[in-house]
Each structure stands twice: as C-alpha cells, then as structure tokens.
Amino acid sequence: MPYHKTVDFVVVYSMTEYPPKILVALGEAIDQNDKIHQWLLNNGYPELAALVSCLRGSREAEEWLKNNKFQHLLAFHYAVYDDEEARKWLAVYKFNTLARLADATNGYKPAMEYFRRKKLNIFIRLAIKIKRLKDQTIFDKNDYHKMKF
C-alpha cells in the first residue's frame, strides 16, 4: 500500500469542513469539468484536484497525494476501488466521512442512509458521481479499443 500506516499529516480538512461550494466544485471536477478541476488546483485546493486525477487513474496524482501528506485522500481513492485495507485505515484514523463516502460509492446502503438522515445531500451526490467515474474508469481500462499497445 502506498499510503502510510502512521499519521504524519499537514493540517487537513475533514470532508465536512470544506465549504459547500468547494464540495460542489469537487463534484463538477469529478464530472470531468476541466475548468473547475484547474480552478481547484490553482485556488488553494490542489489536494482535491489531485484526488480527482487519482480517481481518473493518474499515478502521478497518487504520488503527489502521498508525497504531500494527503494519505487520507489516497486511502480514500483505494477504498473506492475496493481495497479493504484502505477502508480499515480510514476507520482506524477516524476519517469517518471519507470511509462512509467510500462505502456509499461502493453501494453500501447504510452509508447512503446515514448521509440522508444527517441531510448531507452533497455527499450523496458525490458518491453517485464518484461511482459513475469509477465505473467508467474500469470500463475504459478494460476496453480493448482504448488499450495502448
């Protein structure tokens, strides 16, 4: 696993501490709005831009997250792609919103219900968008028409 088992972070936002407009922008970037993706990168949220790139399959973004002490976002990325150890890591280090968001993205109904109960609709939207991106990324990776030989 490329994320660290110990916590040695810079100051990090909990996902619930990001301003709502930033979470909306994150959703737009996940939906492949490159203008918003660049805006996140250039306006104080490079970790979210890197997360989006990572979810799209960028190894460079994975390295950036690791090297810039955003292991929690890297672990989230792996949890979204069904890495159980990454999911456990998020729980151990109390990144509960990221853990629930990964669960919701992976179709775990109690996670979606939690967001509904708490009226955290932005996280429901993010889970749906991330799931769509994940499915498309997996499809593209397995599409022999798009393989590089």
Residue 108 has pLDDT above 90, yes or no: yes
Please state the rounded mean pLDDT for residues 100-106.
97
What pLDDT sits at residue 16? 85
Residue type for position 127: A
pLDDT category, 13, cuts 50, 70, 90?
low
Please state the rounded mean pLDDT for residues 126-144.
84
Residue 16 per-residue DSSP state? G
pLDDT category, 34, cuts 50, 70, 90?
very high
Give percent of the chain with pLDDT exceeding 90. 79
Residue type for position 147: M
* Residue 40 · residue 115 · CB < 8 Å: no
Q: pTM for the whole thing? A: 0.85
Query: How far apart are the two ends of the chain, measured CA to CA in Å?
Result: 28
What pLDDT sits at residue 145? 54
List CB contacts of 85: < 8 A, sequence separation 6 or more. 1, 78
* Residue 103 · residue 111 · CB < 8 Å: yes
pLDDT category, 140, cuts 50, 70, 90?
low
Q: DSSP secondary structure string, 75-96?
A: HHHHHHTT-HHHHHHHHHTT-H
